[in-house]
Structure 1
Amino acid sequence: MKYGLMGVAVLLASSTAALAADFYQPPVEQPIIEQPVIEQPVASAGGWYLRGDVGYSYTKMRGAHFFQGSNANVAHFASAKVDNTWTGGIGVGYQATQYLRGDLTLDYFGKSDFRGSTIGGCGVATACTSRDITSFSALSLMANAYVDLGTYYSVTPYVGAGIGGTRVKWDKLRNTSCETGNPANCDPTVEHGGGENWRFTYALMAGASVDITCDLKADVGYRYRRVLGGNMFGYAQNGGPGYDKGFNMHEVRAGLRYSLGGCAEQVAYEPPPVSYEPPPVFK
C-alpha cells in the first residue's frame, strides 16, 4: 500500500513538470521606442545690432548765474525753468554674452524753451525784475553698458549705465528789465548771444526688451541723464556772461533693436533611445 501511494505521488509530480514545460512560452521581445527628433533653437552668444529710439524728456534745470558789471559780482537767477521736450536717437551695439551687451548712442533733444527772472536795479528804477527768454537744444553722445537679467516669456528686463558728452546750444537770450511795482515801465530789451559747449554726462537706465521676431526686439525703458553746467549766454550792456548749472533729464523711451547676425541657427537634438528589458523567467 505504501509503495502504491509513493508511485502515485511520483506520477503526479512528473505530470506537473510536463505540463509546466508544455505551457512555457519564450519571452516576448519589447520593441525599442525611439524619441522623435526635436528641433531646438540655440541662442547666439554674441552679435552686432542696430537700435533706434524716440522718447520724451522731463527736464529740470539746476539753476543759472551770471556776472553783473564785473567778474567780481556774481548774480543768480531768481527763477530758471525749461520746458520738457522730445528726444530721438540711433545707435550701434554688440551683444557680448547672453547677459552683457554695450552700445554707442547719439541722441538729439528738440528745442526746450527757457523762462527766467532776476531781481535788482535797472535804468528805470532801483527795484526791477527782469524777464529772460531763450531756448536750447542738445546732442548727446554716450557709451553704454547693460546687464540683461534673463528672459521670461520673451521679455528680458535689464539695467545699465553710460558716460559721454552732451553739446548744449543756447539761442540768443532776450532780457527785459521792468520796475517791480510797475511792469509797464521797462528798459529796452537787451539781447545776449547764446553760448554752446560740450559737457560731461552720465546716465542710468532700466527697462525691458520684448522679442518680436528672432532678430527684432522692442525696447521700452527709463533713462536718467545728468548733464553738467556750461556756457549759457555772452556779455552785453554791462551784463554777462552767463552760465547754466546743468540739467537733470528723466526720459521715457521706446525703440527697436535689430540683430545684424540674423536668427539663431536650428540644431537637431536627439535623445538616446529608450529600451525595455524583458522580465526574468523562472523555470
Structure 2
Amino acid sequence: MKSLMNAILAMGLVSLIVPAQAADLAPPFVEYQAIQATSGWYLRGDIAYSKTQDSKGEWDFWNQFVGVQGIDDTYRYDSLKLRDTVSVGVGIGYQVNEHVRTDATLDFFHAKVAGKTECPLMIKSDAAHALPFPADCHYDDSSTANVMTAMANAYVDLKTEGRFRPYLGAGVGGAYVKYGTKSRQEVCALCPAGYTRYTSDYEGVGSVRAAAALMVGTTYDLTDRLKLDAGYRFMHIFGGDAYKYDAPDRAAGATGAQVRDNGFNIHQIRAGLRYALN
C-alpha cells in the first residue's frame, strides 16, 4: 500500500511540473496593439499618377485691318488636354488629436498639352461671307505646362483596424500654371490646291488660380513614427490665362492673353510616407 501511495504522489508531481515547463518553452502570445495617434508635427513626401479630364476654353479673334483693329469675336476652344503624368510633393503637418490632423503641401508636375479648336467663321465656307473654304477646318495645338499647387488640408482619421487607419480629407489653396510655347497647325483636308495652311507659335502665359481638393485613403503603421499613406485625390484647378497672341496679331496692336482655359479636373492615385517628429 505504501508503494502505491508513493507512486500516485509521484504521478501528481509530474502532472504539475511538466505543464509548467512546457509553458516556459512556448513563445508568449502577444495581441497586436494599434499604435495610437498622438499630437505633434510630422513631415510627408508623396508621389502620384495624375490623369486630367479634357477641358475647354475660349479665344479671341483679333482683326488686323487698319481702322477696325481689335477683337472681332470670341470663340470656344473645343478641347484642351493635359496628358497623363507623374507629380511629386512635400509637406508639413500637425496631428491635433487621435482623429484630426492638418497639413500644408506643395506639389509639382510637368505635362504635355494637346489642344484643338475650329477655325474662325471668317475663313470657313459661309454664304454671308462668300468664302470658298470648306467647313472641316480646325487647328491642332501642342504645348507643355508646369503646374505647382499649394494646399492647406484637413483630415479625419477614422477607426483603426489593426495597423490600418482609413481617412477622409479636403483641401483649399492655389495653383500656378505656366504654359510653354504653343505650336498651331491648321488642318484642312478639303481646302483647294495651292492653299497655304496657317501655322504659328504662341507664347505661353503663367497665371495664379484657386484650387480645391477632396481625398480618401488609408495609412499603415510601419513603425510608431513612420506611416505609409496611400489614397485618391480629386483636385479642381480653376480657369485662367493660357497663351498670348501670335507675332502678326501683336504687330497689329493685340496685347494680353488671347486664349483662356476653363480649368482642370485632375484625378490622382497617390502614395507617400509620413514621419512623426515627436
Q: Same fold (TM over 0.5)?
A: yes
Flag the 1:155–1:186 CA change in 2: closer, same or farther, 3 A: farther
Rounded to whole Å, the distance in 1 between the matches of 2:199 and 2:148 is 30
| 1:171 aligned partner, one-letter code | G
Q: 1:250 aligns with which of 263, 267, 270?
A: 267
Q: Kindly state the Cα deviation for residue 85 of structure 1 after the two structures are TM-superposed.
A: 1.2
Rounded to whole Å, the distance in 1 between the matches of 2:171 and 2:277 is 23
Identity %: 35
Q: Deviations over 1:64-112 (max 9, x none)?
A: 2100124351011233333111111000000000000000000001223
**Gapped runs of 5+ residues in structure 1?**
1-37, 262-283
TM-score, scaled to structure 2: 0.74
Rounded to whole Å, the distance in 1 between the matches of 2:177 and 2:92 is 23
Rounded to whole Å, the distance in 2 between the matches of 1:83 and 1:183 is 34
Rounded to whole Å, the distance in 2 between the matches of 1:215 and 1:183 is 70
TM-score, scaled to structure 1: 0.72
Q: Deviations over 1:11-49 (max 9, x none)?
A: xxxxxxxxxxxxxxxxxxxxxxxxxxx9x8984530100
Moved over 6 A (4+): none
Partner of 1:23: none
| 1:204 equivalent in alignment to 2:211 | no
Q: Kindly state the Cα deviation for residue 119 of structure 1 after the two structures are TM-superposed.
A: 2.7
What RMSD, in angstroms, separates the aligned Cα atoms of the two structures? 2.4
Partner of 2:87: 87
Q: Kindly state the Cα deviation for residue 179 of structure 1 after the two structures are TM-superposed.
A: 2.9
| 1:59 equivalent in alignment to 2:52 | yes
Rounded to whole Å, the distance in 2 between the matches of 1:42 and 1:194 is 49
Rounded to whole Å, the distance in 2 between the matches of 1:171 and 1:96 is 41
Which sits farther off after the overlay, 175-184 or 229-238? 175-184
Flag the 1:244–1:211 CA change in 2: closer, same or farther, 3 A: same
| 1:136 aligned partner, one-letter code | A
**Gapped runs of 5+ residues in structure 2?**
1-29, 63-69, 125-130
Rounded to whole Å, the distance in 1 between the matches of 2:158 and 2:213 is 19
Rounded to whole Å, the distance in 1 between the matches of 2:58 and 2:229 is 39
Q: Which has the higher contact order (CA 8 A, sep 6+)?
A: 1
* Matched position secondary structure for 2:153: strand
Q: Structure 2 matches for 1:63-74, cutoff 5 A?
A: 63-69=56-62, 70-74=70-74
Rounded to whole Å, the distance in 2 between the matches of 1:203 and 1:116 is 27
Partner of 1:13: none
Partner of 1:266: none
Which sits farther off after the overlay, 187-196 or 156-165? 187-196
Flag the 1:125–1:231 CA change in 2: closer, same or farther, 3 A: farther
